[in-house]
Structure 1
Amino acid sequence: MSFAAGVGYATYLSLRTSFVTQQGFSQLHLEVVSRAPSVSAANIGNPDRSPGLVLNEQKPKPVQNTMNKGKVRLNYPKDVELHVIGVYQGKLESDDGKPWWSKCGDLQDSRNAADCHSRYAVQRDPGVVEVEVSYNEHPIILALMAYSAVKWRVKPGYGVVIEQVILAGYHGQTIEGVEQGVPVHAYTYKSSPCNPCWQGTGFFYGYEGPDSGSHTYGTVERKLYEITGQRVASFQGKYKGERFSIASGMPVFSYATR
């Protein structure tokens, strides 16, 4: 086999061969995945210079800010980390700390249970969840989720870099405490009143972990990967959330169902 002029054997870092039978003849096709800088550009794709040799230079394409089916993927730093917090509801000022079903009496009565659920389970006013962020070893994407309406109060510490905030849930979510200019993207069924806030399509939420027996964590993990292209670095969840912390040395998973 002959190589194009000026291209040495050591130039080829990876070769892929395949035999194609056509009209009784066997042809050998080679694809050069990468090449050294010494390869002449005049030889690329020129069958006269290198018969049967196809150079396919594959360069990584940078991630651009694109909008596709309601998703916007940002051009994150390479060392960015995705940290996730999920609750069913936040803390109300008038909250006595008891779960909603403790106020319902006989839950075997379906009519009574439905009435109690409508009165106590779904919060009419947004609950509050505080998130203290002291982790500054890597820039972070902060994903905050809740079924009920929640006002997320983020308290970043010294040196903390928040690249993006993702709000997700059924009811609208709001956030305060992040610097102006940090992208806030909401994936909620009901419109989120955060301003400025980009509203995406679809919604999801979850507060249970991967070994809780619930399918919600898998859905959350998949949706967040579709949006960000990042795997979950940490997940915290609680049915009724009041205060969370993202700090060095924290466990990857920390959650309680109720």
Structure 2
Amino acid sequence: MSNLVQRLNITAHPQLEKSLGYRGDSPWVAWRWEPEIEQLICSDGKTVETGNNMAWLVFLQHDLVQPVLQEYNLGEGDRHSLLLDRKTRNLYIGEGTAIQSLLEQPESLCLLTCLNGNTKGDRNFAETWQKKLAKTTKTNAFRHLTNLIPLSIAATLISALGVGTGLWVVPAVQQKLAQKTAPISPMSFEASCYIGQSYKFSSHVGSLNGNKELHLIAVYEATSPQENGNRAKSAIEVKVERQNKPIILALSAYEPINWNVTVEPGAVIEKILVNGYHNQTISGVTGIPVEEHSYEETGDYLGNFIYKWDATTESTNTPSLVTKLEQINHTKLSSFQGCYRGTSFTIK
């Protein structure tokens, strides 16, 4: 069992389950992410219901939580589940199928609690552990087995399995939840483009519904081509200030660009997608997944290299970049900004 379900060095705040959307009264509850419907799911062994996506995201990014849980990919994958003992406030991580089986067998959860006691190396605690273990299994064979375990070995086992630092997860979700339930703020833009009739700024506001937003910034180039024909990589500044929901940021250019991204406090970028014919790079941020699709670097690109909104239609040979982005991210485009030659853009 210990290989499938492990106790974490985190002690949950008393309001954690409420913040994550659980309203039941069971002593144990588990959460997992369902990527097919992009939804948090909570289960207590009796009922399965949806949870609060935004609160889950904030919880996973908490300074005390992220270092412990980031390897389990709880914000995107469905392999692992997070399990909470509501009495002791202990948190466990494990295979989703194993945790669901535990929830359906309360006696197994009792055994899990016994194996992860907080007292270490104490003879009396070891004796108590043996009594609880025998009572839990309710079989003569298992009672006989526990009597054969030396108390010193039992205490050592408990000491090894019961390590914990008692870190408190203070729920910083109330502000985020208020942001989610508040009316959706209107989109606004700031951009710096080359001055000229054919290079004017183009924009579009699309769907702002759903639990995430997809924003696209597209140019042909950042500066005029070099006279000697060399393509020197130029920089474009991108500032993300919008805080309503997690953002998928898409950046597109034909010429080589270094996109320098600044994320203002409170804004959350889920991932960055880059589309280009020539090599594109990202700077200014760390810890955000980046997917590059450039013909020069990866041998493929997502779609046409648009820089005006009225040029988003598909052609025979090249798919629409907007259509492709919406398909792979399972969400509608929220905004578009573009011009032939740009130097800076802001999403507000």
Give the TM-score of the pair, scaled to structure 1: 0.49
Give the TM-score of the pair, scaled to structure 2: 0.37
Q: Report which of the two has the higher share of helix.
A: 2
Q: Report which of the two has the higher share of strand.
A: 1
